[in-house]
């Protein structure tokens, strides 16, 4: 495979994206209108707000503010379940584009293409598109767009506001923002760190002023609920099965070999989630969250695979990588299919059920 022209690289990128979309469409068609339970819960919450059974000032959904659930209910009401899945697919395509733009000027074509491949066929990306929360997709896209603004224009305030908007859709965004803040700290950009922190909080403050600080209560409640959620044996399994632990180790190797600014940023941002899993003992959402990690880990894993001294010979590297990447595609698709079989449910909005479930959990 040659990477010597922009035209050939463009064709390969198109093939990667088309292949990934094809797998996701097959999974969507197989699954129909079913979703993971968190999606059902979020749409029910939005329906409850619409019907007046729930209030954004007195109720909240776990792991997010009310913004996403209200939006997704109205989207579901207009377009049905496939409208939500279409949003997920479009957000995935946009995230693929953001990853391309982030790496285009920083890495050679081989590294860029391999990173795009690893992200596009990652099981968490399949899972999120076929049956996952639009909140996860929106949060990941807004965070990645913020980092892209920082990479391309070095605008800390603009980047942090975009990341702060992502925080409205999923609270796990603050973990990745912590990795971004650690990078600024590493770079000794003290003034920018203070600006980043204040800018990040602006959207969240605005939402809290609207809902009477119910979103703050949601965040505090969520932290308490998620802490110590999983056993160490389960965490160990999730670290391996999602690829989070291998990704951290391989990425650290790549940074030790080339401690460039972008490599350090791309290690610190997703590694913050690895630290969170260990400190909070919470790996429940690892597969979904790892989708965003792969936007950044992908470049460093590609660097490891392409620059590893044991694979220095181009012919040997090709003989090893081709079957490994083929297996990656097949296994990821199968795992997504297996997930669809086990933990998805029909989406039929029920405001009263949402109210009972939320009140039961808060007690």
pLDDT one-digit tens code per residue, 131-190: 999 999 999 999 999 999 999 999 999 999 999 999 999 999 999 999 999 999 999 999
Closest CA to 162 of 184, 151, 146: 146
Between 142 and 315, whose confidence is greater?
A: 142
Q: What is the distance between the alpha carbons of residues 204 and 274, in angstroms, rounded to a whole number? A: 24
In this predicted structure, the answer to whether residue 358 has a pLDDT above a threshold of 60 is: no
What are the residue ranges of helices labelled H in 32-108? 37-51, 67-79, 81-104
Q: What is the distance between the alpha carbons of residues 166 and 144, in angstroms, rounded to a whole number? A: 9
- Which positions ≥6 away from 335 have C-beta within 8 Å? 123, 126
Give the pLDDT mean for 124-131: 96
Give the pLDDT mean for 81-102: 97
Q: Using an 8 Å Cβ cutoff, are 235 and 277 in contact?
A: yes
Secondary-structure breakdown of the chain: helix, strand, coil percentages, each rounded to the nearest 5: 80, 0, 20
Give the pLDDT mean for 336-351: 83
Q: In whole angstroms, how large is the CA radius of gyration of the chain?
A: 20
Enter the tokens of residue 360: 């039961």
Closest CA to 277 of 226, 241, 221: 226
Enter the tokens of residue 127: 């899972």
In this predicted structure, the answer to whether residue 1 has a pLDDT above a threshold of 60 is: no
What pLDDT score does 135 carry?
97
What pLDDT score does 360 carry?
45
| Residue entry with tokens 């660097």 | 303
What does the pLDDT look like over 264-282, one tens digit per residue? Answer: 999 999 999 999 999 999 9
Q: Using an 8 Å Cβ cutoff, are 63 and 222 in contact?
A: yes
What does the pLDDT look like over 223-248, one tens digit per residue? Answer: 988 888 889 999 999 999 999 999 99
Give the pLDDT mean for 86-90: 98
**Angle, helix 134-153 to helix 286-307, in steps of 10 degrees:** 40
Q: Using an 8 Å Cβ cutoff, are 24 and 126 in contact?
A: yes
What pLDDT score does 357 carry?
56
CA–chain centroid gap for 335, Å, is 17
What pLDDT score does 343 carry?
84
| Residue entry with tokens 């996701």 | 24
Beta strands in the chain (DSSP E): 34-35, 345-346
Least trusted range by pLDDT, from 192-201, 229-238, 312-321: 312-321
- Which positions ≥6 away from 276 have C-beta within 8 Å? 172, 175, 282
Q: What is the distance between the alpha carbons of residues 108 and 106, in angstroms, rounded to a whole number? A: 7
- Residue 268 to residues 186, 194, 223, 273: CA-CA distances in angstroms? 10, 18, 22, 9
Kindly report the pTM of this predicted structure. Answer: 0.93
Segment (H or E) for 35: strand 34-35
In this predicted structure, the answer to whether residue 362 has a pLDDT above a threshold of 60 is: no
Give the pLDDT mean for 293-314: 89
Q: Using an 8 Å Cβ cutoff, are 171 and 64 in contact?
A: yes
What is the number of other CB atoms lying within 10 angstroms of the CB of residue 214?
19
Is residue 188 classed as helix, strand or coil in its secondary structure?
coil
Enter the tokens of residue 241: 């099965």
Give the pLDDT mean for 279-290: 92
What pLDDT score does 3 carry?
43
Q: How many CA atoms lie within 13 A of 346 on its CB side?
A: 3
Q: Using an 8 Å Cβ cutoff, are 26 and 98 in contact?
A: no
- Which positions ≥6 away from 96 have C-beta within 8 Å? 17, 20, 116, 119, 120
Enter the tokens of residue 269: 């941002």
Q: Using an 8 Å Cβ cutoff, are 238 and 244 in contact?
A: yes
Enter the tokens of residue 161: 């506001």
Closest CA to 167 of 127, 199, 123, 191: 199
Give the pLDDT mean for 328-333: 96
């Amino acid at each position: 495979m040659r990477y010597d022209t922009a035209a050939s690289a463009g064709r390969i990128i198109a093939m990667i994206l088309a292949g990934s979309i094809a797998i996701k469409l097959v999974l969507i068609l197989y699954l129909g209108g079913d979703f993971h339970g968190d999606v059902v819960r979020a749409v029910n919450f939005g329906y409850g707000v619409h019907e007046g059974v729930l209030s954004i000032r007195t109720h909240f959904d776990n792991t997010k503010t009310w913004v996403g659930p209200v939006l997704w209910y109205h989207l579901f009401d207009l377009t049905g379940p496939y409208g939500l899945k279409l949003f997920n697919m479009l957000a995935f395509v946009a995230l693929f584009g953001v990853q391309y733009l982030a790496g285009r000027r920083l890495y050679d074509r081989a590294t860029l293409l391999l990173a795009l491949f690893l992200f596009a066929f990652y099981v968490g990306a399949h899972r999120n598109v076929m049956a996952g929360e639009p909140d996860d997709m929106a949060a990941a896209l807004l965070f990645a767009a913020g980092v892209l603004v920082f990479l391309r224009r070095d605008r800390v305030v603009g980047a942090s506001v975009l990341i702060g908007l992502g925080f409205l859709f999923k609270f796990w965004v603050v973990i990745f923002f912590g990795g971004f803040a650690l990078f600024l700290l590493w770079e000794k950009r003290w003034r920018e760190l203070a600006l980043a922190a204040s800018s990040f909080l602006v959207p969240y403050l605005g939402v809290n002023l609207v809902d009477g600080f119910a979103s703050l209560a949601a965040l505090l409640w969520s932290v308490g609920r998620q802490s110590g959620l999983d056993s160490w044996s389960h965490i160990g399994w999730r670290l391996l099965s999602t690829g989070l632990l291998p990704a951290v180790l391989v990425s650290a190797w790549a940074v030790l070999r080339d401690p460039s600014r972008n490599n350090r940023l791309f290690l610190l941002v997703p590694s913050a989630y690895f630290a969170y899993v260990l400190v909070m003992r919470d790996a429940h959402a690892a597969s979904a969250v790892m989708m965003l990690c792969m936007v950044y880990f992908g470049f460093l894993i590609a660097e490891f695979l392409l620059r590893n001294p044991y694979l220095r010979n181009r012919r040997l590297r090709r003989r090893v990588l081709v079957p490994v990447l083929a297996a990656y595609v097949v296994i990821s698709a199968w795992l997504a299919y297996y997930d669809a079989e086990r933990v998805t449910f029909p989406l039929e909005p029920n405001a009263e059920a949402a109210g009972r479930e939320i009140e039961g959990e808060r007690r």
